[in-house]
Amino acid sequence: MNSRALAVVGGRVLTPFREIREGTVLVQDGRIEGVGAAHEVDIPADAERVRANGCTVVPGFVDIHVHGGAGVDFMDASAKALDIACAFHAKGGTTSLLATLRTGPVADIVHALGVLREAVGRTRAGADIAGVHIEGPYFAPAEAGAQPPDAMKAPDPAEWSRMLDFADIVRRMSVAPELPRALELGRELVARGIVASIGHTAATFEDVIAAVEAGYTHATHIYSSMSGLRRVRAFRILGVIEATLLLDELSAEMIADGRHLPPSLIRLIIKAKGLDRLCICTDAVRVAGFPPGEHTWAGRTVLVEDEVAKLPDRSFFAGSIATMDRCVRTMVQEVGLPLQEAIKLATINPARFMRLDSDRGSLVSGKRADLILLDQVLAVRMTIVGGRVVYDRNIAPATKNLLCREVGGSRSRRYRHRFFSLESRRVSGVGECQPELTPAGARRWMDVEEHFCQ
Ligand SMILES: [Zn+2]
């Protein structure tokens, strides 16, 4: 195919290995064709130009731990839900994500995998689903966090093989390595090219060493739902936190919403672990994008308060409500990291840890054309996925922070929607949605963000 080229010009470019003060990124047929100073990149005469003056052009963010947002969860297992979550996160600068499936009955996980198999690499509405992260059910109930402890169990080969039948789309699985047969599962994951990750675990330091020897290479959300130093009689026993900080064999991700890990703790992690073995993720859940208050789905209630999701009794965080741009702002504005380093933690590092870096995570000729424009306060101005502009703040409708609810449809496929303000929590008007984005027959709150309605 030969589509019209797209040239992003006039902005500061962070590849992120180098800075180009006034750089050009040329995109053709979904791939990066050239990156360099203005005089180094020849722009075809008929190319479409995007002026990035005053903006920083960086690779699109790679979120390797995200459950959903804008009212949907990847466990909802519908194509529409996937589109909504991917569009929501694209607005926060994410261009690639690992759709993360939380702990639940294996039949539910397998069902969701079936739906995701149709979507991986094919989403059109926003961020590209680069693969799946199965987060559970082989976890330690003592470190359940906000995941349901009742569904947690020891690994069982007959059962895990049903999930690993989807090895073509599964990129990563999180497992508590101290459980019986968890090392065998780790070796099985490695054999199938899946990243084995340590998570929701009460393991000791020695358990982690055994896990590393079995092929585990990553630690799931450091400091969240993992054991730390404890004392047994007079002796100090190291946990997963210390093992993760100490062992170069393990990479780790930090939930960087500024709530799960206070900025000083992030500084400590960076000091101990170094920037090359760390990345940031959102761990965003269904209520990402929602206002403060209690929200209930399928009998499960989540509280949004202090810009984070909590269990209703406030005993645990229930995931974040962040998008990746907020995580990058946390790293720069609260942790004090230079922007170029923060961008690495959000792009090439997570891509490398999930072995996606041959095609993603940096602005290099030949890679996928996944890039974003950040303004001076590090808010996303534009998101380009596979060479397509999927989000442009300047042409998004003026109606901000709206949910909409279908109140009636007709055979002409023009649907009337009631707009619901996330800020005032009141119905603020009635209008029409773009018909192609309206699910036929829907009669409920659609849980979509404003750009689906105008
Ligand atoms: Zn998670």
Kindly tell me if the per-residue pLDDT of 142 is higher than 50: yes
Q: Please give the structure tokens belonging to residue 11.
A: 């902005």
Kindly tell me if the per-residue pLDDT of 1 is higher than 60: no
pLDDT tens-place string over residues 351-401: 999 999 999 999 999 999 999 999 999 999 999 999 999 999 886 443 333
Q: Which residues contact 358 (CB under 8 A, 6 or more apart)?
A: none
224 alpha carbon – ligand 1 mean position (Å):
10
* Average pLDDT rounded to a whole number, residues 77-106: 94
93 alpha carbon – ligand 1 mean position (Å):
19
pLDDT band at 446 (very low <50, low <70, confident <90, very high): very low
Residue pair 362/59 in contact (Cβ under 8 Å)? The answer is yes
Residue pair 171/354 in contact (Cβ under 8 Å)? The answer is yes
Write down the pLDDT at residue 2. Answer: 61
Total count of residues recorded for the chain = 454
> d(Cα 433, Cα 40) in Å, to the nearest integer?
44
Across the strands, what pairs with 401? none
219 alpha carbon – ligand 1 mean position (Å):
12
405 alpha carbon – ligand 1 mean position (Å):
29
- Which fold is adopted by the domain 61-359? TIM Barrel (3.20.20)
pLDDT band at 146 (very low <50, low <70, confident <90, very high): confident
CA-based nearest residue to 71, from 416, 242, 282, 321: 321
Q: For the chain, what percent of residues have pLDDT higher than 70?
A: 86
pLDDT band at 296 (very low <50, low <70, confident <90, very high): confident
66 alpha carbon – ligand 1 mean position (Å):
6
The count of other CB atoms within 10 Å of the CB of residue 410 is 9
Write down the pLDDT at residue 188. Answer: 98
Residue pair 218/279 in contact (Cβ under 8 Å)? The answer is no
180 alpha carbon – ligand 1 mean position (Å):
22
100 alpha carbon – ligand 1 mean position (Å):
7
Q: Do domains 1-59+361-396 and 61-359 have the same CATH topology?
A: no
Q: Is 265 helix (H, G, I), strand (E, B) or coil?
A: helix
Per the listing, tokens 């699910």 go with 439
194 alpha carbon – ligand 1 mean position (Å):
17
221 alpha carbon – ligand 1 mean position (Å):
8
Phi-psi region of 180 (alpha: psi -120 to 50; beta: other; left: phi over 0): beta
Q: What's the distance, Cα to Cα, between the start and end of the chain in Å?
A: 33
444 alpha carbon – ligand 1 mean position (Å):
27
> d(Cα 267, Cα 280) in Å, to the nearest integer?
13
Residue pair 62/94 in contact (Cβ under 8 Å)? The answer is yes
- Which fold is adopted by the domain 1-59+361-396? Urease, subunit C; domain 1 (2.30.40)
Per-domain boundaries in the chain: 1-59+361-396, 61-359, 402-452
